[in-house]
Amino acid sequence: MKLIVISGFLGSGKTTLVTALAKDLVKKYNRRVMLIVNDVGEIGIDGQLMRRLGANVYEIFGGCICCQLGNDLVKLLKEVTPQYNVDLILMEASGVAEPAKIVDTVKRYGPPGFNKYRVLALVDATRWLKIRPMLEPLLTSQVLAADLILINKIDIAPYDRVEAVVCDIQGLKPSGKIVTLAASREEDVAKVAEVIHNGW
Amino acid sequence: MAGELEFIPYAATLELKREMPLSAEKWGEAGVEFLKMLARGCQEKGVAVIGHIKGFLDLGGAGYFYLSTVGVEHSPSCRGVAAGETDNARLDLNVLVYGISRAEIASLVETQAISWSLSLNIIFTFREVSCLEAHHH
């Protein structure tokens, strides 16, 4: 079973991506996917949307699973993974989560059966350069922990800004694999689904 | 906590009621306008970073809208499946910002909700559900 943590700052497009990704992975690749979403707010809004879109989703809200709600995450995984024959868990982290801590928690305390852990980080191209200096070390930690960095919202960000964000991310993580996309476009999501399906 | 900025998530539910029904499309537009007002209000209050302001507007049998904004540069996004009309709705709201206190956020949301509802002839009841501490790693 593979665990993919989808991280990225608040409003970077995680819910849009996760919802579309799950659909693609199930429909095109017959993957058995479980969705877990963590909303830091006291009301689980992302989960409401996913359910309306037809996804079966487990929701943890009212805190962050990388710290306060780590126990809730472990408990949930232990309860639900034996019940379903899933081969992939897509876990949407809260926007203020440090994904490395989530993976560490699952590795240490989670149920057996996971053989692959991957982190995907979304970066909002429209405002990364503006907010990064104010939100360190959080934003850097999300990028540094990522196996795949997705620079999102290229459909609404000016081209030169996207280029500048790519440069900044490359400086931060020279070995990082970077993809630019608009998570609202089906063809872009399809590319990410293909990467995930092909053993990444 | 990121750097010196404190992050306090704030959440509230607004039960909305109108004397006359409104089309689903108009409810969506009204939701977008409310998020715009909140984002503008945050900026005027001196919020350091608008993390995410998002809402789920439940129109009952008439459908739903998911509303989202990260600032004043772009109009809030609004997506959902809705049709017909309704005289009532529920708006779940998460305001996730950096740099002002929870009391200031609460006051901002309530003030903007009053002004917004008056312009649309909406009567609302307001329930704050925030009781979280600041986020620390």
Assess if residue B110 is contained within a domain: yes
Alpha-carbon distance A73 to A30, whole Å?
26
Alpha-carbon distance A200 to A147, whole Å?
9
CATH, residue A190: 3.40.50.300
Domain enclosing residue B95, as ranges: 9-128
CA B21, B27, B30: angle at the middle one, nearest 5? 125
Q: Residue length, chain B?
A: 137
Give the position of tokens 């507007």.
B57
Alpha-carbon distance A43 to B55, whole Å?
10
Q: Is B135 within 8 Å of A131 when comparing Cβ atoms?
A: no
Residue A28: alpha-carbon gap to chain centroid: 20
For a pLDDT cut of 90, what percent of chain B falls above it? 78
What is the predicted pLDDT for the residue at B131?
57
Cβ-Cβ contacts under 8 Å, B92 against chain A: 43, 45, 48
Name the average pLDDT for chain B: 91
User: What are phi and psi for residue B111, nearest 5 degrees?
Assistant: -60, -45
Q: What share of chain A is helix, strand, coil (3-state, %, to 5)?
A: 40, 20, 40
* pLDDT tier for residue B106 given thresholds of 50, 70 and 90: very high
Assess if residue B136 is contained within a domain: no
Per-residue pLDDT of chain A (200 residues; tens, 9 = 90+): 999 999 999 999 999 999 999 999 999 999 999 999 999 888 899 999 988 888 889 999 888 898 888 999 999 999 988 888 889 999 999 999 999 999 999 999 999 988 899 999 999 999 999 999 999 999 999 999 999 999 999 999 999 999 999 999 999 999 999 999 999 999 999 999 999 998 77
What is the predicted pLDDT for the residue at B130?
61
Assess if residue B4 is contained within a domain: no
Domain count, chain A: 1
What is the predicted pLDDT for the residue at B1?
42
Which of A68, A131, A140, A142 to mutate against chain B (most B CBs within 10 Å)?
Answer: A131
Domain count, chain B: 1
Assess if residue B137 is contained within a domain: no
Residue B134 pLDDT exceeds 70: no
The type of residue at A11 is G
Assess if residue B134 is contained within a domain: no
Q: Residue length, chain A?
A: 200
Cα-trace Rg, chain B: 15
CATH, residue B123: 3.30.70.360
Kindly report whether the peptide bond that precedes residue A174 is cis, defined as omega within 30 degrees of 0: no
For B50-71, what is each residue's pLDDT tens digit? 999 999 999 999 999 999 999 9
Q: Are the C-beta atoms of A3 and A106 separated by less than 8 Å?
A: yes
What is the predicted pLDDT for the residue at B92?
96
- Please give the model's pTM, rounded to 2 decimal places: 0.92
Residues of B with CB under 8 A from a CB of A: 2-3, 5, 7, 9-11, 13, 48-52, 54-56, 58, 64, 66, 68-71, 73-74, 80-81, 92-94, 96, 98, 129-132, 135-137
What is the predicted pLDDT for the residue at B85?
97
Residue B98 pLDDT exceeds 90: yes
Assess if residue B89 is contained within a domain: yes
Q: Is A39 within 8 Å of B94 when comparing Cβ atoms?
A: yes
Q: Residue B121 in 3-state DSSP?
A: coil
Pairing of strands A33-39, A88-92: parallel
Domain enclosing residue A58, as ranges: 2-197
